[in-house]
């Protein structure tokens, strides 16, 4: 059972970890706090892959000898050699007497091993549960899904009118959401490993799919789901592929001449296999996960969203509802695909929240948790 003091310091580790959102992938977000009695003697967070982990950053920031201190950490310390040495070594070398962990590391290299190593050396190790642990796990949903499934966490972003339309009957959709909502969406791009659209959106809008906000640590990779490899080599995406990578997901039906033209122009080609679109989505996500893409912001149109839903690969939805009414039987709705026949079969969100952004309402719904 976490004490009030433990709770306070663990919440601080989560705050620290959050400061690096969008910067650490493929590593997780981690924060650490070192204390002696009521005093905080050091804090740290992991800033980027290859940089010191949060535990080592907190030790480096210590104002006094950390021997006998308590270490609070938002994620189980690592115990393996990667780009940096094991944090368990640093903890033992520093003489830390107690470690309090907010959440487990689900990767095969960790999965509780560090706690055993530390306990064997006489360190008292405690792992909390309940709301604190859930909050720490929420920090790293992309990392956790990737560790458990090998696939990226998929977040579907959509903007719709009050009557549930994402475009008019002739395809006009700019702009449904307001300026503040669009700025938020650009921030989401900056936090994601990749942004994906379908070939219909790529052809109609000729988008850049870059994050156009201040303080972007790195641009997301751009992905186009393009069954026949028909993305024009003159598109903005291909023309900028030397600066920001572009991945085109094609099917086996795509002509070799078309895929080779895209490859020669700078695109990376991924072949999605399977007997239908849902199967090809799942296959492509396996390939993208193997490229260390842990989070994917899906901005494609209704057709692609439907294929992802049919593949059961939408983990979260972020939907802007604007104070507009479009009407029209032929106007576009957010999700196509096969869908369900009975509402009892519909996926229900495990958690949802509502926020006002300018004149729009943002509904965030988590469909799965890892």
| Residue range 4-139, CATH number | 3.40.140.10
State whether residue 224 is helix, strand or coil: strand
Q: What is the distance of C-alpha 268 from the center of its chain?
A: 21
Note the maximum CA span of the chain. 70
Report the alpha-carbon distance of residue 279 to residue 287 in Å, rounded: 13
Q: Are 187 and 348 in contact (CB under 8 A)?
A: no
Side-chain-side CA neighbours of 367 within 13 Å: the count stands at 16
**Which string of b and e fits 206-230 if b means at least 16 CB within 10 Å?**
ebbbbbeeeebeebbbbbbbbbebb
Report the alpha-carbon distance of residue 89 to residue 54 in Å, rounded: 14
Consecutive sets of 10 residues in the chain, 370 residues long: mean pLDDT of each?
89 97 95 94 95 96 94 94 86 96 90 88 94 96 97 97 94 91 96 96 92 88 96 96 96 95 96 94 97 95 94 97 95 92 93 97 97
What is the dihedral angle through the alpha carbons of 151, 152, 155, 157, rounded to the nearest 10 degrees?
-110
Report the alpha-carbon distance of residue 164 to residue 176 in Å, rounded: 11
Q: What is the distance of C-alpha 323 from the center of its chain?
A: 29
Superfamily of the domain at 143-366: Dihydrofolate Reductase, subunit A (3.40.430.10)
- What pLDDT, on the 0 to 100 scale, is given for residue 81? 77
Report the alpha-carbon distance of residue 276 to residue 310 in Å, rounded: 10
- Dihedral sign from CA coordinates of 330, 336, 337, 340: negative
CA-CA distances (angstroms) from residue 294 to 25, 195, 257? 7, 11, 31
- Catalytic residue of the set 4, 51, 55, 191: 55
Is residue 299 flagged as an active site residue?
A: no
Instruction: Indicate the domain borders of the chain.
Output: 4-139, 143-366
pLDDT digits (tens, 9 = 90+) for 62-102: 989 999 999 999 999 998 877 788 999 999 999 999 999 99
pLDDT digits (tens, 9 = 90+) for 198-225: 999 999 899 999 999 888 888 999 999 9
């Amino acid at each position: 059972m976490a004490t009030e003091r433990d709770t306070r310091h663990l919440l601080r580790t989560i705050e620290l970890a959050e400061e690096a959102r969008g910067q650490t992938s493929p590593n997780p977000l981690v924060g650490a706090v070192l204390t002696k009695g009521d005093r905080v003697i050091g804090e740290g967070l992991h800033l980027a892959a290859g940089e010191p982990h949060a535990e080592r950053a907190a030790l480096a920031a210590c104002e006094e000898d950390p021997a006998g201190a308590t270490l609070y950490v938002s994620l189980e310390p690592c115990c393996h050699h990667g780009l940096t040495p094991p944090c368990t070594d640093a903890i033992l070398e520093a003489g830390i007497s107690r470690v309090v962990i907010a959440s487990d590391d689900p990767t095969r290299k960790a999965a509780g091993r560090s706690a055993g190593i530390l306990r064997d050396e006489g360190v008292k190790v405690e792992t909390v549960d309940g709301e604190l642990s859930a909050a720490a796990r929420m920090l790293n949903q992309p990392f956790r899904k990737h560790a458990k499934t090998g696939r990226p966490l998929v977040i579907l972003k959509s903007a719709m009118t009050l009557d549930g339309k994402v475009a008019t009957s002739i395809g006009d959709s700019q702009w449904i959401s307001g300026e503040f909502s669009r700025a938020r969406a650009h921030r989401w791009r900056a936090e994601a490993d990749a942004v994906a659209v379908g070939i219909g959106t790529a052809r109609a809008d000729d988008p850049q799919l870059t994050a156009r906000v201040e303080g972007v640590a790195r641009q997301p990779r751009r992905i186009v789901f393009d069954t026949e490899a028909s993305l024009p080599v003159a598109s903005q995406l291909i023309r900028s592929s030397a600066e920001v990578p572009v991945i085109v997901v094609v099917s086996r039906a795509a002509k070799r001449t078309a895929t080779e033209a895209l490859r020669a122009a700078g695109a990376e080609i991924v072949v999605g296999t399977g007997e239908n679109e849902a199967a090809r989505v799942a296959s492509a996500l396996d390939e993208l996960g193997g490229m260390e893409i842990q989070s994917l912001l899906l901005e494609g149109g209704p057709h692609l969203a439907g294929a992802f839903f049919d593949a059961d690969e939408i983990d979260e939805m972020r939907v802007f509802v604007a104070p507009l009414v479009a009407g029209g039987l032929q106007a576009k709705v957010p999700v196509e695909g096969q869908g369900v026949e009975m509402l009892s079969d519909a996926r229900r969100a495990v958690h949802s929240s509502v926020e006002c952004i300018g004149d729009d309402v943002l509904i965030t719904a988590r469909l799965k948790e890892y």
